[in-house]
Structure 1
């Protein structure tokens, strides 16, 4: 009898463990829907990117039904907004389900409502770009004007992501109620922090779109205050970078240690880093507006200082990751200062692609320091240097981490296997990406230092004496971009294979445990109210006076635009 009872308990424990290790199939369908849309965006946006570098090389002309700025808008919107938002929502849905438990039917329905709203918005915005009614680039700065449907479509993408993020938060809160007094699951905690950051940041662009750009586009108002609209955009625009980056950090902190057979160095350090990103990511947008009149230089300087504080959680992350690598290397018998390097699983795409992303973030971060520096920014502002910087950060550090994650997450969610051959192809895609991006981004940085402009189709811009030298670097960019496009074709093929044709089986969703002896997470780090109040206080400090100054000194009246 005792044996039978023990067997039943063992079976129940094993069943519960398996439920916790695998994402529920219904939750997986929602996550996959988001991820598949993200990779459609990769292919289409990557194709547009290839056309851009070919045009800038001076050796290729677009067909008559396309123009350069239309293609540029497709590239920026699909890769900067659609790929990132849709992949992040899919990954975070799976991560919360994996670590906080299966969503309730109500929570899952809310998630699907968010997905369909975002998808409808995407289709609406894409239709306007493809019909050349919204060639306003990724930043959609006024006085460039798009059809109002484009702005409404982007607003729906944002609102859809809010709603899916709400479903994730509801599941997280439910877990906390069910496990009072316990430290919250790290991946779920990180997802909620990122969603909170996203919600607060997108309020700026939502106000810009709903109260300025849509009324202006519909002809309800005659003009908009350009400075106010740009300030609202950059309130959102720099925090957007951290919305992209934090899910990559989730993988680095929680997934990679498990992949290499190690432990999380410190849960407390990881949660502190994310809370610091939460309070420091939004009130820094004015450092994108150094050259704009109408903003007091004092406030530009204050936000520059706040920008440099963001380096702290990034350095904390770097320390944590390399401490994890060294600890694991020592466990495997590594000797010397860098002996652990040889012990890492270089043939595993789950590790290799994110690791390449980590390495790329080092020069990417250094370039970011230049961009945020009050004096050095003058040299590179509005040059293609800035484009090169974005291609090291979001297009390499973030994108390669997302790709490396997708190659195991998609099979996990649909009951298939990441085969040896698929793993090898994934490694090839990552290496091709690294080679292509090194060539293209390096050429962009050098051309930028020589004054080559960004957002321009013309290599000979302004008839400069440097035009010939610029063109040589534009041709180099085209070579790098072509290699990147080959990588995109390999990645697209892999996603199709892993989604629909890979052998049936079980693929692990790696979630590492915290290292033995790590300190318990302080209660203050789990107090969202405390950190939320600090975040709001810092934002009010950083933006209240600059925005009041802009409105009071606006030639269009105290509300920022003039009615008919």
Structure 2
């Protein structure tokens, strides 16, 4: 394959490692905040020095949900693009510029949160108001990420121009698909931050339209989940097969799944707003239907992955109904961690179907069930896959070896993470079904009938959070070891090949104009009329936002 003849240069490795280093620093900070939250909610800890619970909640959500994921994804994708289509000096300079813009924005945002000037949670809903620097920093993070989008687009464009008529490398195709999704989705949050929140926080606007801001946020907020998830899919589709000694089941199926994710993950934000007034129920129903369309590429992925596992196992001579499954390389952490993430996606996906269902959503909406769902999807499926990627990617970037000792520690870390998440996410799901609220430090509500039921599960969350923090400390140690202390050597950059007799990939799957055009049509269909209704029928300046809860 053309993609495997390329080598990552030292300069390219340094770029990717810079992004991933910020991600692991974020893991440590955000993980500590998560541990403190579970201890506060269980009643076993009172925060010292006047620290507010919602301050650590905001740090946890922003640092892990936005900073860690975005930095790791961009660093990983730069490595994939450098390996498959290469990177020019000019592209690398622009990439570094994007890194510094993102870093400045991250520091600005984090500083305001740590100073208690932005206790507005991960979703920063109005009428909660943060210091203007929080929103400006957030805007810089988004703008900096757009540098990465355009660098990746140019990398593939340059490669296609030099290889006319040749199918693009699968991983390069996947990276570009994910960045198209990210660019389109972030237009919503960029619009609400630049047009609404920054003028409002600076005092240039007295009021803010809450429903507009929430709608623009969730236009971004739902595809954000797939921006997290698609890099994991890249590893599942094109890297795990190489690790297990197999080949990609179907290049066409993989590309089709990514195209469908672009189209059906963006125009569905209303399913996060099912209980909100001001949005016509018909449009909520339409977006719920569109939400369920994303199940198709998810099932395609499950079929493709397990077909790869079975075919590989049977080629190696493992017979019986499940012989192929038992003989997968369970002792190789590069496979084990992502595989546990895949298996966790089964209950995570089921919970997602419940959250997106109009009637069932009414049962769990704004309960801690939703938080438990996020911890199964992002904090288990995605993060365990990112950890699995790190075991080979960091040695590739640092010129070191994945030793047998670190491999064993990685297996232990994965087990610790799985056990911790079983306690924490499981407790959250059950407490949510009993009505325990999310986003609240006072989830015991002493004096209520439910308090005795909830407190046991809050303790379960604290136990799970403690176990998870041990897993975080171990993962940070592994990162430091693979970066600075592991023996020097050469580690494989595992990219799987197609089967030799695979069917040719249809050319229309690489017709970006077609897929972007269809996506825009779906977005306009799903949002134009209801958004016009929201703007026209919202009372002017309604409601007033000089309430005490508007932090400044």
TM-score (norm 1): 0.95
- Which of 406, 429, 434 is 2:390 aligned to? 406
In 2, the alpha carbon distance for the partners of 1:129 and 1:542 equals 35
Task: Provide, for residues 421-467 of structure 1, a one-character-per-residue CA deviation record: whole Å limited to 9, x for no partner.
Answer: 01111111111000100111010000000000000001233842111
Equivalent residue in structure 2 for 1:264, among 227, 242, 248: 248
* More moved, 452-461 vs 32-41: 452-461
CA contact (8 A) 1:346 1:352 kept: yes
Q: 2:20: which partner in 1?
A: 35
1:25 Cα deviation from its structure 2 partner: 1.4
Q: Distance in 1 between matches of 2:5 and 2:526?
A: 45
**Structure 2 unaligned residues grouped into runs of 5+:** 547-552
Matched-pair contact (CA < 8 Å) for 2:58–2:120: yes
Q: Distance in 1 between matches of 2:313 and 2:51?
A: 53
Distance 1:517 1:141 in 2: 53
Structure 1: distance between partners of 2:15 and 2:75: 7
Q: Does 1:339 align with 2:323?
A: yes
Deviates more, 1:246-255 or 1:548-557: 548-557
Instruction: Give the Cα–Cα distance (whole angstroms) in 1 for the partners of residues 215 and 445 of structure 2.
Output: 28
Q: 1: CA distance between counterparts of 2:51 and 2:149?
A: 36
Aligned to 2:491: 507
Seen in structure 2, the aligned counterparts of structure 1 residues 129 and 561 have a Cα distance that, compared at 3 Å, is closer
Contact kept? 1:111, 1:165, Cα under 8 Å: no
- Whether contact under 8 Å (1:388, 1:445) holds in the other structure is yes
Partner of 1:359: 343
Q: How does 1:175-186 map to 2 (within 5 A)?
A: 175-186=159-170
Q: CA RMSD for the aligned pairs?
A: 1.6
- Separation in 2 of the partners of 1:532 and 1:288? 24
CA contact (8 A) 1:30 1:112 kept: yes
Change (3 A) 1:561 1:51: closer
Counterparts in 2 of 1:18 and 1:268: CA distance versus 1, 3 Å: closer
- For residues 259-302 of structure 1, the C-alpha deviation after alignment (integer angstroms, 9 at most, x for no partner) is 00000000000000000000111001000001100000000000
Shift of 1:509: 0.8
What CA distance in whole angstroms lies between the structure 2 residues aligned with 1:553 and 1:156? 32
Does the CA contact (< 8 Å) of 2:4 and 2:83 recur in 1? Answer: no
Please state how far the C-alpha of 1:334 moved relative to its aligned partner.
1.5
Partner of residue 25, structure 1: 10
Q: Would you say 1:482 and 2:466 are equivalent positions?
A: yes
The question of whether the paired residues in 1 share the 8 Å contact of 2:41 and 2:444 is answered with no
Decide whether the 8 Å contact of 1:25 with 1:414 is kept in 2. Answer: no
Partner of 1:159: 143
Shift of 1:83: 0.6
Stretches of structure 1 lacking an aligned partner (at least 5 in a row):
1-12
Distance 1:190 1:241 in 2: 16
Cross-structure match for 1:95 = 80
Residue 165 of structure 1 and its aligned partner are, at CA, apart by 2.0
Q: Select which of 83, 104, 108 maps to 1:124.
A: 108
- Cα pair 2:243 2:494 within 8 Å, conserved: yes
Match for residue 173 of structure 1? 157
> 2: distance between equivalents of 1:497 and 1:352?
20
Which residue does 2:411 correspond to in 1? 427
Matches within 5 A, 1:536-551: 536-551=520-535
What is the number of residues matched between the two proteins? 545
